[in-house]
């Protein structure tokens, strides 16, 4: 998407991309971003019940302490990034697109920084966002507060946890269905060239309703709480033992995750595409819930010893280091996307080679900067908070 942020010399290719199954299916893979929410709340639940087993009761003060730790972890690095984005990065260079990209980012961070630090910027898209990608941190923080309060309230009655988690799923499905249907929005979000240019699709109400709001991400919280509870209380039990169970596990995971993605890509590019408001509302309301269930089931299955080669890769020692760097890399990666586009002197030739090379550069630079950010900011702050909180 970032490759189409500024001018391209072959706009026909971008125009045709929305009719390509491969392109639309690749963009639809954005839904796998929900993996981060699932892991976050899965681990939060496991840590909560681990604390509960030691202390026999988790007080509201303990919950507030965990929330403060989360806030400090998210904020410590973000403050530095906001300061650099609003005052320093804009003076690094100049060029045809520099003011258009970096200048606008600097102005937004100077005006809207407070929404980042209060973690409410996912509700302020119409006013413009400082560090556009940090809407997910706001959603994560909001859901963390809700999740910890739910765990605290249900710690002595597990039935409440299952009822509340089911209620969260019902709220997301119902709210999304009626919101999309009432406003007659299209089937999902169509990433047209007009919407990709300048990331203007971010300001569309259907995208915000199905992506950035707290309600639209309740599935990650609900499934994370449920599977985290099951793992915490039954981690010594093996549920998936028979060969037939293994087959069913693989089938359900693949169908519920990649199946929903490929269906989206196929339907949006087929001759059967329909803009029926109620079909769009139905799909938009259940797609994320089904996909997140598949992600949660995959994580739970790997802890049961399934996954084969994929599990071996995830347990590979270097992946631990990359996991430590992942948060810092996520924080800075969008800055490098903007800088790369802002430095362009001529329109780009949109091609798979361009996309691949930009991804490679971004991954390398983001992880390199994350080493510095993690070593000098994130890890010291985490040690300090653990010591004093």
Task: For 284-313, write each residue's pLDDT tens digit.
Answer: 888 889 999 999 999 999 988 888 888 999
Low-confidence winner among 35-49, 75-89, 349-363 (lowest mean pLDDT):
349-363
pLDDT band at residue 142, thresholds of 50, 70 and 90?
very high
Sign of CA pseudo-dihedral 366, 107, 130, 113: positive
Q: How many CB atoms lie within 10 A of CB 375?
A: 13
Q: What percent of the chain has pLDDT over 70?
A: 92
Higher model confidence: residue 24 or residue 140?
A: 140
- Mean pLDDT computed over every residue of the chain: 85
The two structure tokens encoding residue 4: 């189409």
pLDDT of residue 244: 81
80-108 CB burial, b ≥16 within 10 A, e <16? ebbebbbeebbeeeeeebbeebbeebbeb
**Contact between residue 9 and residue 348 where contact means Cβ atoms under 8 Å apart:** yes
pLDDT of residue 51: 93
Task: Summarize the confidence of residues 145-164 as an average pLDDT.
Answer: 93
**Contact between residue 240 and residue 249 where contact means Cβ atoms under 8 Å apart:** yes
Higher model confidence: residue 47 or residue 14?
A: 47
Per-residue pLDDT for 272 more than 60?
A: no
Determine the straight-line distance between the first and last CA of the chain, rounded to whole angstroms: 41
pLDDT of residue 370: 94
CA nearest neighbour of 89 among 387, 369, 379, 386: 369
Task: Summarize the confidence of residues 252-281 as an average pLDDT.
Answer: 77
Q: How many CB atoms lie within 10 A of CB 270?
A: 10
pLDDT of residue 33: 86
CA nearest neighbour of 48 among 69, 23, 75: 69
Helices (H), 88-128: 98, 104-117
pLDDT of residue 198: 62
Q: CA-CA distance, 298 to 301, in Å (whole number)?
A: 5
State how far the alpha carbon of 35 is from the alpha carbons of 267, 292, 303, in Å. 24, 7, 15
Q: How many CB atoms lie within 10 A of CB 251?
A: 11
pLDDT tens sequence across 192-215: 666 666 666 777 777 777 788 899
The two structure tokens encoding residue 3: 């490759």
Q: CA-CA distance, 205 to 202, in Å (whole number)?
A: 8
Beta strands per DSSP E along the chain: none
Per-residue pLDDT for 100 more than 70?
A: yes
């Amino acid at each position: 998407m970032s490759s189409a942020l500024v001018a391209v010399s072959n706009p026909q290719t971008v125009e045709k991309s929305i009719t390509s199954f491969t392109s639309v299916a690749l963009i639809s893979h954005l839904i796998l971003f929900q993996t981060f929410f699932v892991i976050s709340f899965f681990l939060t639940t496991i840590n909560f019940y681990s604390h509960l087993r030691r202390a026999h009761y988790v007080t509201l003060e303990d919950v507030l302490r965990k929330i403060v730790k989360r806030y400090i972890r998210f904020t410590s690095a973000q403050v530095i990034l906001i300061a650099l984005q609003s005052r320093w990065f804009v003076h690094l260079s100049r060029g045809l697109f520099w003011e258009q990209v970096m200048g606008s980012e600097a102005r937004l961070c100077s005006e809207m920084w407070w929404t980042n630090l209060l973690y409410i910027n996912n509700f302020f898209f119409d006013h413009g966002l400082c560090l556009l990608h940090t809407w997910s941190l706001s959603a994560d923080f909001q859901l963390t507060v809700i999740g910890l309060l739910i765990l605290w309230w249900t710690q002595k009655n597990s039935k409440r946890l299952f009822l509340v988690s089911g209620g969260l799923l019902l709220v997301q499905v119902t709210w999304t269905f009626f919101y999309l249907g009432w406003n007659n929005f299209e089937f999902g979000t169509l990433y047209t060239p007009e919407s990709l240019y300048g990331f203007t699709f971010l300001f569309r109400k259907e995208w915000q309703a199905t992506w950035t709001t707290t309600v639209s991400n309740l599935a990650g919280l609900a499934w994370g709480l449920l599977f985290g509870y099951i793992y915490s209380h039954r981690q010594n039990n093996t549920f998936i033992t028979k060969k037939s169970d293994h087959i069913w596990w693989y089938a359900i995971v693949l169908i519920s995750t990649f199946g929903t993605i490929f269906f989206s890509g196929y339907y949006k590019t087929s001759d059967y595409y329909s803009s029926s408001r109620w079909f769009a509302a139905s799909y938009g309301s259940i797609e994320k819930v089904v996909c997140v269930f598949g992600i949660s089931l995959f994580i739970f299955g790997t802890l049961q010893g399934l996954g084969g080669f994929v599990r071996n890769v995830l347990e590979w020692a270097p992946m631990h280091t990359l996991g430590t760097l992942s948060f810092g890399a996520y924080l800075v990666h969008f800055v490098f996307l903007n800088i790369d586009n802002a430095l362009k002197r001529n329109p780009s030739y949109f091609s798979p080679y361009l996309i691949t090379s930009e991804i490679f550069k971004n991954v390398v630079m983001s992880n390199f900067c994350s080493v510095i950010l993690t070593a000098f900011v994130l890890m010291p702050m985490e040690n300090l908070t653990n010591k004093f909180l």
